[in-house]
Structure 1
Amino acid sequence: MDLTMLYRGPLASCDYDCPYCPFAKRRDSRETLRADRAALERFCGWVADQPASPSGGRLSVLFTPWGEGLVRSWYRRALVELSHVPQVRRVAVQTNLSCRTDWLAGADPEKAALWCTYHPGQTPYDRFLGKTREVAALGVRFSVGIVGLPEHREPALRLRAELPEHVYLWVNAAEGHTYTDAEAAEWAAIDPLFAYSRHPHPSAGLPCRTGESVVSVDGDGTVRRCHFVPAPLGNLYDGSYRAALRPRACPLAVCDCHIGYVHLESLPLYDVFAGGVLERIPAPGVLPAGGPGGP
């Protein structure tokens, strides 16, 4: 059986101070950074040590740090090294793309991928766009996104016009923000999949792949079904989580984060993002003709 792991260690520091993020400009202590590095290296070692499954089961990993991981050498190294592990199908990371990009030349472009977010006001537009062009030149798959705030509309339109047509530009509904139908239509003209982000998804009692083929792992190796359900399933390093993997319904009333609701079986998103669930890249032919922002 294939297994997807969302890894989140102790790291909670970021080089940006976005007003919509609780971890803006937070600084981790040296002790926390050392612990985060050790935890990540332990996790990567576990992944590398897993035997190839006779049935063809493979691992996929998405790094979802609270802060910005790629400004830390150990996250860059982890992405490169795991991309060369035979039993790894895909390794991806959520990033603001503030780091340099030359290290990606060492990654396997068939496996490594980036989930990039542009934060207007935190970095010059041309610098961010230049970073995306560097990643594209290295042949690494990536998506680009932005938070759907009114002041972000013009930068989003500019990104859509200047990114290559094949690069998906997603828009996340801003937390706590209510969109009129007219506003939602404007964002949908940029991201045809915006409707999935606009409202939280009812999830109570509905089947979800988390806890069966998708799990969350923290720095201590505690395995949970996802980042949003705190009950532990066991531990990665003693193998106790394996006995808990099974189909199960969501215990929460709603799911309002893409890394959660993408796994709901009541939604068609595994078909929408087939081959690119971790890096948030839609399958070929899913988006309208004329490119991701086309009619």
Structure 2
Amino acid sequence: MKLTVLYRGPLSSCNYGCEYCPFGKWKHTEEELAKDRADLERFVSWVEARTGDTMSVFFTPWGEALIWPWYQQALARLTRLAHVERVAVQTNLSCHLDWVKDCRAEKLGIWATYHPEWTKRHRFLAKCETLSSLGVRYSAGMVGFTRFAEEAEALRRELPEDAYLWINAVKDGQEEPYTAEDIARFTAVDPLFPVNNVRHPSLGRACKGGESVISVDGEGTARRCHFIDEAIGNIYAPDFDQALRPRPCSKATCGCHIGYVHMDYLELDRVFGSGILERVPVKPLWREGVAARAE
């Protein structure tokens, strides 16, 4: 079996405090952090035991995980497993990167979000340069508030040409809708921006969610994706594999990259290839205007 797991444990705090994000305002108690660590240990042990499968793991925390050593250690352990193809994580890249040397770099993927209100561009770029020097594949990106447009353009100029810079469209919370000029400006930075700036029709559509891609929480409860609350089983149950089967999407639309990228009709697996978890497209495609195909 080939299975991709999006893991989101109880961790829900961040060392940044972006005004549009609630998680920087929360602080965990020592007991809560211990619970998160124990849940993660149980999950990693489960992955380690599935030696008959081909596994990929994507950590998508409600907050920042890599400031905590147990997540760094988990990435190192998982990348060293023969049956694990890929291990990726969403991060603000504020952590030190010494732990990366304990990983198999060719299996590690970093989805790095730049927050210009919380760090300096040169610091973020230095972290990206370190990842490159260590042989780690990464994407960099920003939230697409129009007030960040100049900073996004500057980051694009200073990143290596072959590094993909994505822009997450703001579909809720933007003071005013994007103008045609705004869309053109962000598309010049990220040719795939028009794909993200759409809520894709999904009701009844085929999706890998629930069959070969699942979302798992700290208790082991599995769902087809992060955006459908219905549980399909628990990964720690002995008969869990029986829950994995095709399920047409039950939501009207899908507007988040980590959801719609797995929808069959969009064919975005062709765009991202083996970089689908860390959001790194196949190099020639994103420079050739693939965005227009999926509008």
Match of 1:206 in 2: 205
Match of 1:89 in 2: 85
The 3 A distance-change label for structure 1 pair 229 and 239 is: farther
Alignment counterpart, residue 63 of structure 2, candidates 59, 62, 67: 67
TM-score, L = length of structure 1: 0.94
Question: Unaligned regions of 5+ residues in structure 1, if any?
Answer: none
The superposition leaves residues 34-75 of structure 1 with CA deviations (integer Å, 9 ceiling, x where unpaired) of: 00000001100111111234xxxx100000000100000000
Say how many residue pairs are matched. 287
- The answer to whether the 8 Å contact 1:223/1:241 transfers is no
Distance (Å, rounded) in 2 between the aligned partners of 1:289 and 1:233: 39
Deviates more, 1:150-159 or 1:77-86: 150-159
The superposition leaves residues 179-204 of structure 1 with CA deviations (integer Å, 9 ceiling, x where unpaired) of: 22221111000000001111211111
> 1:1-295 alignment to 2 at 5 Å?
1-53=1-53, 58-176=54-172, 177=174, 178-288=177-287
2:111 alignment partner, SS class: strand
Deviates more, 1:124-133 or 1:38-47: 124-133
Per-residue deviation, 1:240: 3.4
Question: Unaligned regions of 5+ residues in structure 2, if any?
Answer: none
Distance (Å, rounded) in 2 between the aligned partners of 1:182 and 1:145: 20
2:285 alignment partner, SS class: coil
Distance (Å, rounded) in 1 between the aligned partners of 2:239 and 2:128: 41
Per-residue deviation, 1:143: 0.3
- The answer to whether the 8 Å contact 2:273/2:281 transfers is yes
1:215 alignment partner, SS class: strand
2:224 alignment partner, SS class: strand
Distance (Å, rounded) in 2 between the aligned partners of 1:196 and 1:239: 39
- The answer to whether the 8 Å contact 1:179/1:198 transfers is no
Distance (Å, rounded) in 1 between the aligned partners of 2:239 and 2:226: 18
Distance (Å, rounded) in 1 between the aligned partners of 2:14 and 2:217: 18
Q: Say what the alpha-carbon RMSD is for the aligned residues.
A: 1.5
- The answer to whether the 8 Å contact 1:143/1:281 transfers is yes
1:67 alignment partner, SS class: coil
1:207 alignment partner, SS class: coil
Residue identity opposite 2:265 in structure 1: S
Per-residue deviation, 1:289: 6.0
Distance (Å, rounded) in 2 between the aligned partners of 1:239 and 1:275: 30
- The answer to whether the 8 Å contact 2:171/2:197 transfers is no
1:278 alignment partner, SS class: coil
Distance (Å, rounded) in 1 between the aligned partners of 2:25 and 2:82: 37
Distance (Å, rounded) in 1 between the aligned partners of 2:267 and 2:112: 23
- The answer to whether the 8 Å contact 1:115/1:279 transfers is yes
1:212 alignment partner, SS class: coil
Percent identity at matched positions?
51
Distance (Å, rounded) in 2 between the aligned partners of 1:240 and 1:207: 24
The superposition leaves residues 67-122 of structure 1 with CA deviations (integer Å, 9 ceiling, x where unpaired) of: 10000000000111100001100000000000001211111111011000001111
Distance (Å, rounded) in 2 between the aligned partners of 1:197 and 1:181: 15
- The answer to whether the 8 Å contact 1:144/1:167 transfers is yes
Distance (Å, rounded) in 2 between the aligned partners of 1:164 and 1:217: 34
2:105 alignment partner, SS class: coil
